[in-house]
Amino acid sequence: MEILDVYRGLLLATPAVHSQMKGTYNLFVAAQGDLRPNMVLQLGDSGEDYTHQGTSGVVDAEVILISRGDTSAAASQLAKAVHDTVKNFTGTLRGIEVQLTEAMSTKSSYDATNKVFEITSTYTSFYRKVSP
């Protein structure tokens, strides 16, 4: 789950993303009553990379970033800013070295019950811990 903190920190530090946010960066599910636009960050499948000598220390994880808005335009604008920030991201943040971020898929949906538009973007992150 520490990789989600890395991406949340990256998005918080990016004015193009943060300036569009009225709500919060939620882990796993959106908080009830949270203002929109907001985001949900989720962790999908993940696993360690192995060599013939054992684990390499590199983890690949599916990072799911959901941009949510009251309108399709609000969700889409936030998703674009998120994508422009995250695609191909490499760097060290919070003791984690992200070696590669690959964009995998994007889909849109509308939750009629909560009246919210969502753009769900999935990325694969390759990373390793560089400090405890």
Domain 2-129 is found in CATH 3.40.640.10: no
Q: What average pLDDT does the segment 39-50 reach?
A: 90
For 4-23, what is each residue's pLDDT tens digit? Answer: 999 999 999 999 999 999 99
For 89-132, what is each residue's pLDDT tens digit? Answer: 999 998 999 999 999 999 999 999 999 999 999 999 999 999 76
pLDDT reported for residue 7: 97
Higher confidence at residue 60 or residue 57?
Answer: 60
So where are the chain's domains?
2-129
Through-space distance between the first and last CA atoms of the chain, rounded to whole angstroms: 14
pLDDT reported for residue 80: 98
Instruction: Count Cα neighbours of 25 within 13 Å in the Cβ-side half-sphere.
Output: 20
